[in-house]
Amino acid sequence: MSDPLFILLVALVLDWYLGEPEILWSRLPHPIVVFGKAVSLADKLLNNKDDSDEKQCRNGALAIFILLLTALIFALFIESIFEWAGFIGIILEIIFVFILLAQKSLADHVDRVATDLKNDGLEGGRKAVGMIVGRNPSSLDKSGVSRAAIESLAENFSDGVVAPAFWYAIFGLPGIIVYKMINTADSMIAYKNEKYIWFGRVAAQVDDLANWMPARISAILIAMGSGMLSGVEAFKNSLIIALKDSGLHRSPNAGWPEGAMAGGANLALGGPRIYRDETVQQAYLNSSGKRDPDVNDIKHTIRIFALSCFLLWLFIGVLVVLF
C-alpha cells in the first residue's frame, strides 16, 4: 500500500469522486492558497519596478529558487511525518495527493460554463468562464466563451492532472509539491506585461521545463479518449493536429493538449484573443474545424476529458500490477 503508484491511483479515483471537499477548505487553507501567499510575498519583497531589466530577472530567479527550496523542505518534512505514522501516514498521503489533483473540480467548472451559458445566456457564460481563464471574458461572444472553456479544459488536463501525477510518480511528495509551487508561480508572475516580463521570466522557463513531458503525455491520452468516444478517425486526427499545429501556440506546451482536443473534437481552437493585459494574435489549431463551438461541444469535450482521465488511471493501474 505504500507504493507511490498505488497511492497515486487511489488519489486519482478519490479526486474524481470527491473533488474539492468544501467542508475541509472552509476550515483550513488549501495548500495552493498557501503557495500563492508565498509567491505574493516573494513578489512584494523582490520585484521592484525601478530596478533594471537585468536585476529584475536576477531577482525573479532568486525568488523562484527560494520558493522551490522552501517547497522541497516542506515536502521532505511532510514525507518524513507520513513515513513515521505508518498506515495512518499512507492514508494522509493519499489525501494530500488527491487534494493537489484537479479532475473533478476542472470538469465541474467547465460544465458550469456550459450550464450557465445555456440557462443564463451570454452574461452567465462570461461570468462562469471568467473563473477559469485569464482572458477578458467581456470580449467573448457565445462561441468565444465555449472555446475558452474547452481550451482551459485541455490545457488544465495537462497542468492540473497529468503533470502533478507525473511528478508524484517519479519523485513522490517532493515531486508533486515542488511542481505545484512551480505552476502556482507561473500562474501569478509569469506574465508578459510591464511588471512581470523580466521578473517572471525564469518562473515561466521553469514551468515550461516542468510541463514539457506531461503536455505530450496529455495529448496522447486525449487522442486515445477521443478515439474511444468517436472512433479511429478522431484518434488519428487528434494526434495529427497535436503534432502539426502545437507549434502554432505561443506556449511550447499548451499547444499539445489543446491541439489534441481540437483534432479529436473537430474544433478550431486558439485564434486571436484578448487577455487582461495583452492581445494575443495566434493562428487556429485545426483551422479547418468548427469555429463556432457551443454548449454541446463543451459537453463533448468533457466526455473526452473523462475518458482521458480513465485512461490515465488504467495506465497507472497496469504499472502497479507490473511493478
Query: For the chain, how many structural domains are there in total?
Result: 1
Q: 39-43, 132-136, 203-207: which has the minimum mean pLDDT?
A: 132-136
Claim: this prediction has a pTM higher than 0.85: yes
Residue 24 banded pLDDT, cuts 50, 70, 90: low
pLDDT at 275 over 70: no
pLDDT tens-digit map of 249-269: 989 999 999 999 999 999 999
Residue 120 pLDDT more than 80?
Answer: yes
C-alpha cell at 132: 477559469
278 pLDDT exceeds 60?
A: no
Q: What is the Cα–Cα distance from 6 to 248, expressed in whole angstroms?
A: 37
Averaged over 107-120, what is the pLDDT?
A: 95
Q: Where would I find the beta strands (DSSP E) of the chain?
A: 269-270, 273-274, 279-280, 284-285
Between 57-66, 127-136, 198-207, the lowest mean confidence (pLDDT) is in: 127-136
**Average pLDDT estimate for 292-305:** 97
Residues pairing with 269 in the sheet: 285
Backbone angles phi, psi at 138, to 5 degrees: -70, -15
Cα distance between residue 10 and residue 313, in whole Å: 9
Binned at pLDDT 50, 70 and 90, residue 193 comes out as confident
Residues 6+ apart with CB under 8 A from 87: 1
Q: What pLDDT does 277 receive? A: 56
Q: What is the pLDDT of residue 133?
A: 84
Among 323, 309, 315, residue whose Cα is nearest residue 12: 309
The per-residue pLDDT for 77 is: 96
Nearest-angstrom CA–CA distance, 109 and 113: 7
3-class DSSP state of 278? coil
pLDDT score for 250: 87
Q: Which residues pair with 285 in a beta bridge?
A: 269
Task: Output the CA–CA distances (angstroms, integers) from residue 167 to 4, 7, 122, 163, in the order listed.
Answer: 11, 13, 38, 6
Residue 276 has pLDDT above 60, yes or no: no
- Domain range for 208: 4-322
